[in-house]
Amino acid sequence: MARRRGDGQRRILTYGTYDLFHLGHVRLLARARALGDMLIVGLSTDEFNAVKGKTCVMPFEQRRVMLEACRHVDLVIPETCWEQKQSDVVDHGVDTFVMGDDWAGKFDGLKALCDVVYLPRTPDISTTELKRRIVTYRQLYLSSSEPDAILQATA
């Protein structure tokens, strides 16, 4: 669709929460960026996460700074509601909408406006999995007679 604007750039758009930025996020962003010339990320705000029933470890501003520091990301915009995707695609002249395949089929309605691609998720990593590991680690730490040794062992 960006080609219709005449600048020759293929624009890619994706959305997510990107809490505790991890390998699965980086791989998704790298593959999304490789589909075009510019990657826009719609980053869920803390208020929208509350609507989704998600609680983030990192607030929006910190998640935004992390994403902006990623070389695959060209622009971060706030995602404040489910309904904005259609207008974002139009307003940003998006060619391709990308999500991980945990969302497969969910955004096919956008196919009238742009290409829609679902990329395979990276296995065995997620924000939820990282939270689980930290909780397990905390339990180990609290129950240890030598908590400092636990800290050093996992450093």
Catalytic residues: 52, 54
3-state secondary structure the chain: CHHHHCCCCCEEEEEECCCCCCHHHHHHHHHHHCCCCEEEEEEECHHHHHHHCCCCCCCHHHHHHHHHCCCCCCEEEEECCHHHHHHHHHHCCCCEEEEEHHHCCCCHHHHHCCEEEEECCCCCCCHHHHHHHHHHHHHHHHHCCCHHHHHHHHC
Q: How far is CA 104 from the centre of its chain?
A: 15
For residues 58 and 150, which CB has a smaller minimum distance to ligand CTP in the complex? 58
Among 2, 12, 28, 67, binds ligand CTP (CB under 6 A): 28
Region 75-104 residues binding ligand CTP, contact defined as CB under 6 A: 99-100, 102
Provide the minimum distance between the beta carbon of 125 and ligand CTP in the complex, in angstroms, as a whole number: 4
From the list 25, 64, 72, 92, which residue makes contact with ligand CTP (rule: CB under 6 A)? 25
Shortest distance (Å) from residue 33 CB to ligand CTP: 13
Q: Contact region for ligand CTP (CB under 6 A) — 10-18, 65-73, 75-83, 106-114?
A: 10-18
Contacting residue, 11, 16, 48, 97, with ligand CTP by CB under 6 A: 16
Residues that bind ligand CTP (CB under 6 A): 16-18, 24-25, 28, 99-100, 102, 121-122, 125-128
